Amino acid sequence: MPTLRIAPLCLLALLAVGTSTAQSKDKVPVTVTSPNGQVALQLFDAETPSTDGVQLAAGALSASDLRYSVDFHGRRMMQSARLGLELVGQPALGPGMRLLTAQPESADESYTIPVGKTSTVRDHYNGVRADFEDATGRKLTVEVRAFDDGVAFRYLVPEQPALNQVHIANELTEFTFVKDATTYPLILDGYQSSWEDEYQRRNIGGLHPDWLIGLPLLAEEPGLGWVAITEANIDKYAGMYVRKDSHSGRLTIKADLSPHINEAGVSVPGLAVDTTTPFQTPWRVLMIADEPGRLIESNMVLNLNPPTKIADTSWIQAGKSAWDWWSGRAAPSVSFKTGMNTATMKHYIDFASASGFPYMLIDASWEVDPPGSGLWNFHTLSDITRVTPEVDMPELLRYAKEKNVKIWLWAHWTSVNKYMDQAFPLFEKWGVAGVKIDFMNRDDQWMVDFNHRVVESAAQHHLMIDFHGSYKPDGMSRTYPNLMTREGVMGKEFLKWSARTSPLQNVTYPFTRMLAGPMDYTPGAFGNSNREDFVPQNIMPMGLGTRAQELALFVVFESPFEMVADYPEHYAGQKEFDFIKRVPATWDETRSIGGRPMEWVSLARRSGNDWYIGSLTNWDERDIKIPLTFLGEGKYVAEIYADAPDSAVQATHTTLSDSTVDRTTVLNVHMVSGGGNAIWIHPVAKP
């Protein structure tokens, strides 16, 4: 159980509670400070003066607003900004509220997870639950937690006579920057989106109020630090976006909830969340660090979710998978007709088995009614006969088991929604390892609930889940670790029809999308190309960037269920494939070496006694230094896959070298335009 203690500033806030509705110069905000003392959040009610010198004025920020601010290293990082909930048919919860009580708390505990960026997670924070009331007696609680790597807050609305059925139109939640920060937004064309687009670089002042921005949103405040805004533990609620505030004249972005869509798929104008008291919102998260790479190390989003509900997680196993969708329709140099058929799927099962991969994902078009539609005819499925005329599923399941490979199956979300109660027990009977569920493209309240129903039902039947066509992660994998990965990113598939998934985006994803959690990007292209020679093509697709960069993606990008995307024939006889076969899909430890979004990134990850380092650059040639201070005592061997001298022209070329290193070694890494570097470091074998 978390240990509780009263922090001095919180105690002072408790003593300062008064009954007057006018501001008191002596009243201080409720302040929550991180365990290391470097991050602090202040809560201001209608009676508490702001402490950051912000001019309070109607139409911008009123003295009667419920507000908060954030400090980092003793300096103001986020200025006073609104808190509260906008209700349908009632005054908002937040404005005019005064503090009643504030209950401090803290926790310092560790837990293990079966798959992730670290095997053990420390959950260490100071917190407070502050209860507020307005003049009509309506109550609202704001819960705050301050970690060493950021702060988070959420709203709790208790059961009360004045509020039973609650219709939330939006939130009043704002995020106000002290300086005109440089942001890296994902600008979406609407709430129903696959989240597949390029990240941009814009100052807060240059954001347009009409732009709908997906989370996480990364920002750099010059001279102050880096902050990433996202959310955690979305449950019985709508997903959150942000927009630039067009009215306040301040450097403010405001929350914007996904509109409500009912079970019939009909949008309800002016409504985001339909709920009853008591309820709680997701956590509004501000990840904070001096350097952007430190944000990648954070497990804060996981920590803000409930503990696991799966007692036995031994069946949840990370691993790489062969995958037919990228390449299986036209595999070269084979004696059979390629496509969605039994012979092709057996070919990929053979490849997975020979490579030591535990999984084979059979993607879209194995299902029926009609073929390729993504809709199941469950009568056919339950017969366990041929699912389509070309796919003998019972034979594939038998063959895969013989080859020690487990099958994942693709599914359209509408089929899962309709047949989940029949399909998941059947898949468990078949021995299926997991289900890749696609095309949700929404995060309204109903769709969020669908996600929860899926992972809970799947867990009961020992099925792992990959949410494709999905919104960002929110840390649900702590509660249901059978949720292995999500898409919500413009992945490798885009190279079939465009050049949009480029090294520029590859060096940006770790600081943006990946801060929310693992991402199903599907690396592994071995038809590598530079910018000049790249041609998007559906058959025999090419990779954009060097082969060394492609190897490094398996280290830099986090996904416990990781595709190996290309044709088996493209890997045959290639020395670089040894690295892909060896590199793990889950980790004991993750360290940032350095980087900046849209420029470069370098990460080190540990599995047991071995370390793997992945480095990527954008279209700029780059030299970086990698100090190996994270190594233990003794000597190690570093096997280095580097860009060859001619890799900028011949992108498939790499050099492989090895050297003896220890924790005092500093490696010099050179990357060509669009290049990368992948390193396996392991202890020197004892004689």
Q: What are the pLDDT digits (tens) for 266-281?
A: 888 899 999 999 999 9
Which pLDDT does position 509 carry in this prediction?
98
Q: What percent of the chain clears pLDDT 90, i.e. is strictly above it? A: 82
Q: Between 404 and 385, whose confidence is greater?
A: 404
Which pLDDT does position 458 carry in this prediction?
98
Which pLDDT does position 101 carry in this prediction?
97
The residue count for the chain: 687
Residues 6+ apart with CB under 8 A from 228: 216, 217, 218, 219, 285, 286, 287, 295, 511, 512, 515
Which pLDDT does position 42 carry in this prediction?
98
pLDDT in tens, 501-548: 999 999 999 999 999 999 999 999 999 999 999 999 998 899 999 999
List the one residue out of 510, 462, 463 whose CA is nearest residue 489.
510
pLDDT in tens, 34-73: 999 999 999 999 888 877 665 554 456 787 899 999 999 9
- Residues 343/336, Cβ–Cβ less than 8 Å: yes
Look up residue 78 and give its two tokens: 């986020």
Residue 559 has pLDDT above 80, yes or no: yes
Residue 673 has pLDDT above 60, yes or no: yes
First-to-last C-alpha distance (Å) of the chain: 47
Which pLDDT does position 291 carry in this prediction?
98
Which pLDDT does position 26 carry in this prediction?
66
List the one residue out of 585, 580, 587 whose CA is nearest residue 561.
585
Which pLDDT does position 60 carry in this prediction?
66
Residues 6+ apart with CB under 8 A from 327: 540, 541, 565, 566, 567, 570
How far, in Å, CA of 149 to CA of 68, rounded? Answer: 18
Q: Mean pLDDT in the chain?
A: 92
Which pLDDT does position 334 carry in this prediction?
84
> What number of other Cβ atoms are within 10 A of residue 556's Cβ?
27
Banded pLDDT at 263 (limits 50, 70, 90): confident
Phi/psi for 366 (5° steps) reads -80, -20
Residue 379 has pLDDT above 80, yes or no: no
Residue 237 has pLDDT above 60, yes or no: yes
Which pLDDT does position 247 carry in this prediction?
76
How far, in Å, CA of 434 to CA of 458, rounded? Answer: 8
Residues 6+ apart with CB under 8 A from 501: 490, 491, 492, 493, 494, 495, 544
Residue 387 has pLDDT above 50, yes or no: yes
Which pLDDT does position 364 carry in this prediction?
87
Look up residue 545 and give its two tokens: 């960037």
Which pLDDT does position 266 carry in this prediction?
84
Look up residue 441 and give its two tokens: 């493209």
Half-sphere exposure of 633 (CA within 13 A, CB side): 0
pLDDT in tens, 428-456: 999 999 999 999 999 999 999 999 999 99
Mean pLDDT of 377-402: 73
Q: Which residues pair with 122 in a beta bridge?
A: 110
Which pLDDT does position 103 carry in this prediction?
97
- Residues 253/245, Cβ–Cβ less than 8 Å: yes
